[in-house]
Structure 1
Amino acid sequence: MAFVEPITIKDAIDNIHRKNYVLPAIQREFVWSVDQIETLFDSLMRDYPISSFLFWEVDRNNVDKYQFYEFVREYHERDSYHNPKANLSGESGIIAILDGQQRLTSLYIGLKGSYAYKMPRKRWDNDTAFPKRHLYLNLFYASAEDSDVEYQFRFLTKKEAEVRDDDNFWFKVGDILGILEPVDVNDYLLNNDVAQFRKDNFRLANKALFKLHDVIHKSRSINFFLERGEDLDKVLNIFIRVNSGGTQLNYSDLLLSIATAQWKDKDAREEITEFVDEVNAIGDGFNINKDFVLKCCLVLGGFREIAFKVDNFNKANMLNIEQQWEDITKAIRGAVILLANLGYHRDTLTSNNALIPIAHYLKKIGVPNNFAVASKYEADRRAIFKWLVIVLLKRTFSGQPDNVLRPIREVINSAVQGFPLEEISNKLKGGTKSLSFDTDEIMSLLHYRYGEAYTYSVLAFLYPTLDFRNKFHQDHIFPKKLFTKNRLSKAGIKDEDAEFFLENFNSLANLQLLEGVPNQEKSGKDFDAWLTEKYPSKADRTDYMVKHYIPDINLTFANFREFIEKREKMLVTAFKDLLA
């Protein structure tokens, strides 16, 4: 490995654009934020070192032996964040980047591409929430003494960049690539009427633009070492060593890199990233990642060791996983579909690891295509649902999940018929991961409040007969809108009681699950009035009250304290019965 003469940023960008510089399959994907990119450009303008790079020279005769990817250019946080596969059919060799991908991608996006990230308070499925933004430099920015930056770089939309006044003159950073000579800088300033602003602004703009031209075209700031060896094991070892610091390489990225290098017929990186995108789009969406899929491969693949260790991702295991890939993904997909049908999604599934035993069980029984809905599997689904709620509420997979996954897998493997809920409970009995609840733990469930991640599991457990494929809402039994100091006062609630009302209206004891339409009909109506209107028949009201654990007391708003106290006792009794 040799240190080679440094090159300019312009040289590096040209090489990336011509696909002379590519990324080996062992590289992770781009993870830097806009703030990191902006800081990188500010550091370059201030002549700060940005560390050296490590390149791997691959001879043209060996290019076909490995898989390479292009750099991301038009980055989109939702729709375009995967590196495209590189088509390298030329007659020359290539340079693969072993260390420095994040910095080089940031330079490429800043100078040649764009970055679309989600705007706050907009939905993920809203296309307008991701406006395209390019990197701009404010030529009129005067750094304050206590400022962390000397040059103001920002990713802006075209409309935002059009603002020009005494404080803002935004120059699209990528345009500097077309300003080849220093004299062109002056031409730009004159042609864009920069002189019409304050005199000191012209000086600021002149200084900033000349400096940017120097940084991109003249300064040889890309210092790199070049590895010319063709031994993948050696290259992988170098890669592991150099990625032990800085923005940490996720262990799963490293393991995925190894899998990609060792699979024969499939591209592991492509298969896994596409599968992650697919299952995350099921139902109302999940938050499954590569770590989860790789862990599933070890558990569902039947390997004795399931820990995230490089040794467990040896060539033999990787080829075994490749052979089982279709069965493993089918089982994971089936488990996610089942949980979506049970009303879970990214915000309520508080542990992805709880999916793994379910997927393992489905793989064992051949992943029936209609498992999530067929009546013949209803008993299985009820057992799985009960087990799922228990392990989520007990936080069974916190800490070291491998110590739980191993015995659960062992029980599932030896089960004769049906999902072995009782056998798993017996296996874990007496240990720190016991699935039984004592009275204090049951009482603590009452502390969950409206909108919290675990609240859905508690509420869903109270409704074992519901078909959760219908959309159920967390509904305030006594409407939330009634609980303001002004409305409490108007309702005649005494000050000493008002505090109790305000502390408890979001509590579990004032929550139920209702389908969307009844919830909308109920809206902000007084509960007792809505109940009589919705269920004129006393028998129907009684059925409703039994189903929703409503105490048979005075249900007027003024009696809210007694309602909470009585319903809490009913819920505790229900939990004990359901957990038995």
Structure 2
Amino acid sequence: MAFERPLTIKEVVNDIHRKKYLLPSIQREFVWKTDQIQTLFDSLLRGYPVGAFLFWYIEKENINKFKFYEFLREFHERDNTHNSEANISGEEDILAILDGQQRLTSLFIGLKGSYAFKLPRKRVDNDAAYPKRELYLNLLKKSEEYDMVYDFQFLSKEDLKNAGTDDFWFKVGDILDLPESFEINDYIYENELNLLEKDKAKFANRTLHRLHKAIHETACINYYQEKSQELDKVLNIFIRVNSGGTQLSYSDLLLSIATAQWKVRDARKTITSFVDEINNVGDGFDFNKDLVLKTCLVLCDFSDIAFKVDNFDSNAMSKIEEEWDDISESIKLAVQLMANFGYNSKTLTANYVIIPIAYYLYKKGNPHNFVESYRFNSERADMKKFTTIALLKRVFGGQPDNVLKPLREIMKNNLDDFPYQRIKQDLRVTNKSLKFTEEEIEDLLWMKYGNRYAFSVLSLLYPNLDYKNNFHQDHIFPRSLLKSRSKLRKAGLSEKTINYCMENHDYIGNLQLIEGVPNQEKSNKRFKEWLELICPNENEKKEYRIRHFIPEVDLDLDNFQEFMEEREVSIREKLSKVLL
């Protein structure tokens, strides 16, 4: 391969717009963030090289052997992250991008598209949390970022409305409407930028001319063109050239091979939409294509479950496609169980924990109404215990394949009921076990509020809660009070007691699980007052104390240390009973 005639950015962006360039199914999806796009445009204006590109020329008689996708133009972090499949019927030869998709998509979005990302502290389901943003260049100021010269920003209409008078934001895509360099001067005069103080006027003029030169004149897109029609060779090239940058995961590559080999379904569309579906179960999860493809290997009983190209040959792909309905149903059931156990993306600390559960359900034929029916109460209880303890013991850390394979072997021979006890007894992997020691139980008491494992510890204390309801981790003695030295002093506590309160208020000993609405009502009330409010008689107080491991001690603020020490004794006893 040799370099072809280099192209200008305008040429390439217009050809992407005309769908002259497409993305082969072996490409990953767009993953760059706005700061990466802004840095790319800054590099262009500074005359920095933007790297070589690799295009794949595909003859028209071969284009139906593969699937192709269009470039993303209007990126939306929630609603539009997947590339649309290209209609190639009746097409002549095609140019597909093997290396440079992230950069080319960034140029396309910056010049002809938009990028919508979520505003902080806004709900995911709020459409207003994702304003449409287009790329702008400040013509009056340099960037305040230490590694940037030019101030590129993705701005919404609201951002522009609130812009300061010291800024002049030029929409970067408008440079395409100024093909001649003299039109830059016309723009400067029409917007009276020449009337500004000398330094600002010169900076605006030079910046706009640099942008024009970078987009219209400089042939900076240097590319090779691969003309081989052999998939194996192209895949090998693709893996090599994608070994840097935003790392290509094996799942991207394997999913691409599946797309080329599945006969009935579009594997990429099927699996990516399935990932979106399971991530929307309950309070939301963070599963990915890696997990789904790994689960396929495990459930289909392939001996080697590693992410290797050799493990995804045509026979394997055929079996996965044939079994997809049952595989996807098993995964979905396992995810629904996780949600019913109270887990979500913040508390499910190892996504691979669902694979053994999915395998069991798959081998049992995905029993009807498994998630809800009382007939499966015992199995669900054992699955919950397995999930919680496997997460706390971090058994899927490191090299999870070494755990998944022996777990699968145990499952194969124990399908009458979910074999939690058998797993606990027989799982023998180096440094991996479901068995706890007393020292490890003691360590659980040092879990803090906000720690991703804290929910798992608390769920062992509350095994009978209906987690389909929304439960909060609540500070029994209010956090807002215990972390404030001034408030504690005002309450008349000694410095020694104050120090203890401030150092220990976030530990498990001061946490309970209560439903969301009562937690909001409790707010910052002192616990003794709250208990009187919700438990007006002694029997109710006694039941509450038992349910939440509240010791029979004075519940005034100055007795927080004794409360913690006594409650930790009860929690330790409960955890020992469950785990030892």
- Bin for the TM-score computed over the shorter chain: over 0.9
Alignment of 1:125-164 (within 5 A): 125-142=125-142, 147-161=146-160
Alpha-carbon displacement from aligned partner over 1:97-156 (angstroms, at most 9, x marks no partner): 011111110110011001111223333232222211111112223479x95223222211
Alignment of 1:170-209 (within 5 A): 170-209=169-208
- SS of the equivalent of 1:327 reads helix
- SS of the equivalent of 2:96 reads strand
Contact 2:134/2:155 (8 A) holds in 1: yes
Deviation at 1:184, TM superposition (A): 1.3
Deviation at 1:520, TM superposition (A): 3.2
Deviation at 1:164, TM superposition (A): 7.0
2:287 corresponds to = 288
Number of residue pairs matched by the alignment: 579
Q: Aligned partner of 2:414: which letter?
A: A
Q: Distance in 1 between matches of 2:188 and 2:429?
A: 76
1:27 corresponds to = 27
Q: Please, what TM-score do these two structures have when normalized by structure 1?
A: 0.96
Q: Aligned partner of 1:299: which letter?
A: V
Q: Aligned partner of 2:457: which letter?
A: V
Q: Distance in 1 between matches of 2:10 and 2:237?
A: 27
Contact 2:360/2:415 (8 A) holds in 1: no
Deviation at 1:53, TM superposition (A): 0.8
Deviation at 1:252, TM superposition (A): 1.7
1:505 corresponds to = 505
- Specify whether residues 147 and 337 from structure 1 end up closer, same or farther in structure 2 by C-alpha distance, changes over 3 A only: closer
1:223 corresponds to = 222
Alpha-carbon displacement from aligned partner over 1:422-451 (angstroms, at most 9, x marks no partner): 110111258511211111100100011122
- SS of the equivalent of 1:317 reads helix
- SS of the equivalent of 1:246 reads coil
The answer on 1:570 being equivalent to 2:580 is no
Alpha-carbon displacement from aligned partner over 1:223-244 (angstroms, at most 9, x marks no partner): 1111122222221111111111
2:344 corresponds to = 345
- SS of the equivalent of 1:513 reads strand
- Specify whether residues 51 and 463 from structure 1 end up closer, same or farther in structure 2 by C-alpha distance, changes over 3 A only: same
- SS of the equivalent of 2:514 reads strand
**Structure 1 portions without partners, runs of 5+:** none
Contact 2:110/2:173 (8 A) holds in 1: yes
- SS of the equivalent of 1:4 reads coil
2:36 corresponds to = 36
Q: Distance in 1 between matches of 2:160 and 2:486?
A: 46
Deviation at 1:357, TM superposition (A): 0.6
Contact 1:429/1:436 (8 A) holds in 2: no
1:395 corresponds to = 394
Contact 1:387/1:421 (8 A) holds in 2: yes
Alpha-carbon displacement from aligned partner over 1:379-436 (angstroms, at most 9, x marks no partner): 0011011111111111111111111111111111110411000110111258511211
- SS of the equivalent of 2:3 reads strand
- Specify whether residues 198 and 478 from structure 1 end up closer, same or farther in structure 2 by C-alpha distance, changes over 3 A only: same
The answer on 1:437 being equivalent to 2:436 is yes
Deviation at 1:270, TM superposition (A): 0.8
The answer on 1:109 being equivalent to 2:109 is yes
Contact 2:497/2:558 (8 A) holds in 1: no
2:542 corresponds to = 542
- Specify whether residues 147 and 351 from structure 1 end up closer, same or farther in structure 2 by C-alpha distance, changes over 3 A only: closer
- Specify whether residues 143 and 284 from structure 1 end up closer, same or farther in structure 2 by C-alpha distance, changes over 3 A only: closer
Contact 1:166/1:197 (8 A) holds in 2: no
- SS of the equivalent of 1:155 reads strand
- Specify whether residues 563 and 92 from structure 1 end up closer, same or farther in structure 2 by C-alpha distance, changes over 3 A only: same
Q: Aligned partner of 2:573: which letter?
A: T
- SS of the equivalent of 2:404 reads helix
Deviation at 1:494, TM superposition (A): 1.1
Q: Please, what TM-score do these two structures have when normalized by structure 2?
A: 0.96
- SS of the equivalent of 1:5 reads coil
Deviation at 1:518, TM superposition (A): 2.9
Deviation at 1:554, TM superposition (A): 2.1
Alpha-carbon displacement from aligned partner over 1:18-42 (angstroms, at most 9, x marks no partner): 1110000000001111111111111
Alpha-carbon displacement from aligned partner over 1:209-266 (angstroms, at most 9, x marks no partner): 2221121112111111111222222211111111112332122212222222222211
Q: Distance in 1 between matches of 2:429 and 2:142?
A: 66
- SS of the equivalent of 1:152 reads strand
Q: Which moved more, 1:301-310 or 1:273-282?
A: 301-310
Q: Distance in 1 between matches of 2:334 and 2:281?
A: 11
Deviation at 1:528, TM superposition (A): 2.5
**Structure 2 portions without partners, runs of 5+:** none
Contact 1:163/1:169 (8 A) holds in 2: no
- Specify whether residues 416 and 233 from structure 1 end up closer, same or farther in structure 2 by C-alpha distance, changes over 3 A only: closer
Q: Distance in 2 between matches of 1:164 and 1:126?
A: 24
- Specify whether residues 39 and 529 from structure 1 end up closer, same or farther in structure 2 by C-alpha distance, changes over 3 A only: closer
Deviation at 1:163, TM superposition (A): 6.6
1:321 corresponds to = 320
Contact 1:549/1:570 (8 A) holds in 2: yes
Alpha-carbon displacement from aligned partner over 1:309-352 (angstroms, at most 9, x marks no partner): 22211221111111111111100100111111111100010110
* Identical positions, percent: 54
Contact 1:162/1:170 (8 A) holds in 2: no
Q: Aligned partner of 2:447: which letter?
A: Y
